[in-house]
Structure 1
């Protein structure tokens, strides 16, 4: 009988070692070793998207946090857009013209940290979400990183 995980959580941080752990977990998800996008028999699960949830922050982006990789349906994005319209979250959308998904992710987070540093946003450090989408799945053919950052 095939099974599928709904989510996988690790405790990590933004150190080089923490980033390496995150990359390794994503590789395990993409390969089907962790059956989040595929079931245990390596059958791709239609209609879902991978999302990263950042929560249980020990302090801010410099401390430890829980990173939960989960699969969601399109309803998730609709619900998040409602939270954005209510002022609970700020949405970021960054893309990379050279097709590098890691570059658009770095740009998105650097924008958040910059806005935080200059006081344009005040983060709650409760739950933040990230969705990275390869260019082959976007309308413009460029990879995108969507962040939903909880704000005060």
Structure 2
């Protein structure tokens, strides 16, 4: 019997230790140790893409939150784009040479806009999708953030 996980969740924060826990979880997913992209027999799941979900915020980016890695399909991304058009999410797109740098720059832009009061986050459910350079057409890392900005979207989960 083989099985495939649909999501993996842990409680963490944005401290150095918390970010390290996130990186370790991603390593376990990418290696197949946790069968999200590969089933328990090590077979790759076609049409499944990994995405991060940030939810159940204790307060703001300084508090605890649930970090999940989900295996989603293309319809999930279409639904996210619809939420952007509806004004419930703001989409951020960044390019970089490494996943770490690209992701860090994307989140720093969100926090900068919060500080400047350009956006008001709902601290509901946020998503992050990163495309490694080896899978992109231009050889760059692509990072996409979908940040909930509508207070009502905090209860909306895709």
Query: How far apart are 1:59 and its partner, in Å?
Result: 0.1
SS of corresponding position for 2:33: coil
Task: Name the CA distance, whole Å, in 2 between partners of 1:102 and 1:113.
Answer: 16
Equivalence for 2:115:
117
Structure 2: tracts of 5 or more residues without a match: 151-158
Structure 1: tracts of 5 or more residues without a match: none
- How does the TM-score come out when normalised to structure 1? 0.97
Q: Structure 1 stretches (4+) deviating beyond 3 angstroms? A: none
Equivalence for 2:12:
12
Number of equivalent positions:
150
SS of corresponding position for 2:51: strand
CA RMSD of the aligned region, Å? Answer: 0.7
Query: How far apart are 1:69 and its partner, in Å?
Result: 0.6
SS of corresponding position for 2:134: helix
Matches for 1:2-151 after TM superposition, within 5 Å: 2-96=2-96, 99-151=97-149
